[in-house]
Amino acid sequence: MAHRPPILLIDSASLYFRAYFGVPESAARAEDGTPVNAVRGFLDMLATLIRTRRPDRMVCALDHDWRPDWRVALLPSYKAHRLAPEGGEVVPDTLTPQVPVILDVLAAIGITTMGAAGYEADDVLGTLSVTQPAPVEVVSGDRDLFQLVDDTRPVRLLYVGRGVAKLEDCDDSAVHARYGIPAARYADFAALRGDPSDGLPGVPGVGEKTAARLLERHGDLAGILAALDDPRSGFAPGLRAKLEAARDYLAVAPKVVRVALDVPLPELPTALPSAPADPDALLALARRWNLAGSTRRLVDALADNA
């Protein structure tokens, strides 16, 4: 049986934030001077991914709620440092107006975007990773998505922490080589280690090596907490005290880190088009925003992929 091409699940915000900081504003502007660096960079990333991964399906996941109330209720510090004084996420002033342009271009091309009220893009990606026919390739620079890696389906993470040109194609062995844990244990690992970028304090004094060692010995976080109740479990006194002091935090943190896999999502097409769905609209957008080069590269990539 021929190997089916993958579906590419795109963490849109992860990519357009990287595009924004990776492409100078001075090098990408519309005729009226409006910066379009995030738009150009994002479209070029998609073109590169299509050329190199040869997908037959694609969905760009959106953050309809970047800091869901249900996660904040469990852990009030969750992303609190990224909260703007007037509410909402702190986003560069010149990036915010570029996001609707990205969405307009995706619509004109015919690439599906998907979000869900009360959930982050991570949750949309997680749900699609278990509901869409495999193989699945999730594209993101978010470490939390290592937990989605599953060799049995298969689901891989194309980690773009160093950019799309240097993406890391991660299966379970790659996650283990990186952190010393299987991908399925990543949420427990992150809860123990902490993640300042998401406002997860972790267990003070427990870093990556200690977290991995604890999970290797006890299996998962539930096993670690059960072992704390056994005086024969062999914890060093200092480590035992740290874990005991963090019991309340450890009871909720994995639920915050764990990506939802059961988000109610609409039935939308996932097939990657071979040509723009609305060529006239795409041409108008390319002219208005000075995107001729990036849109041409993306359209050529789609045609070559067909």
Residues 237 and 265 in one domain: no
Model confidence at 86, pLDDT cuts 50, 70, 90, reads confident
Total domains, the chain = 2
Which of these three, 257, 278, 296, is where a domain ends? 257
180 Rama sector, left if φ>0, alpha if ψ -120 to 50, beta otherwise? left
Coil/strand/helix, residue 117? coil
Kindly report the CATH number assigned to the domain that includes residue 155: 3.40.50.1010
Residues 122 and 229 in one domain: no
59 Rama sector, left if φ>0, alpha if ψ -120 to 50, beta otherwise? beta
Mean pLDDT of 53-73: 97
Each residue's pLDDT tens digit, 259-305: 999 999 999 999 999 999 999 999 999 999 999 999 999 999 999 99
Which residues, in sequence order, are bridge partners of residue 137?
8, 156
129 sits in which H/E element: helix 121-131
pLDDT at 87 over 90: no
So what's the pLDDT on residue 229? 85
Residues 129 and 209 in one domain: no
Residues 177 and 66 in one domain: yes
Domain extent at residue 11: 7-182+260-305
**2 assigned to some structural domain:** no
Which tokens sit at 70? 């249900």
So what's the pLDDT on residue 233? 77
Residues 53 and 194 in one domain: no
Do residues 158 and 95 touch, judged by C-beta distance below 8 A?
no
d(CA 192, CA 229): 18
Each residue's pLDDT tens digit, 217-269: 999 999 999 999 888 777 888 999 999 999 999 999 999 999 999 999 999 99
So what's the pLDDT on residue 1? 44
d(CA 201, CA 77): 8
**1 assigned to some structural domain:** no
Residues 224 and 235 in one domain: yes
Residues 152 and 79 in one domain: yes
112-114 and 57-61 beta bridge pairing: parallel
Residues 14 and 86 in one domain: yes
So what's the pLDDT on residue 100? 98
Residues 79 and 106 in one domain: yes
So what's the pLDDT on residue 235? 85
Residues 130 and 199 in one domain: no
pLDDT at 21 over 80: yes
Kindly report the CATH number assigned to the domain that includes residue 244: 1.10.150.20
Each residue's pLDDT tens digit, 123-180: 999 999 999 999 999 999 999 999 999 999 999 999 999 889 899 999 999 999 999 9
Query: For the chain, what's the residue count?
Result: 306
**pTM, entire model:** 0.95
Model confidence at 2, pLDDT cuts 50, 70, 90, reads low
So what's the pLDDT on residue 249? 95
**272 assigned to some structural domain:** yes
Residues 50 and 139 in one domain: yes
Residues 156 and 270 in one domain: yes
Do residues 218 and 234 touch, judged by C-beta distance below 8 A?
no
d(CA 281, CA 286): 9
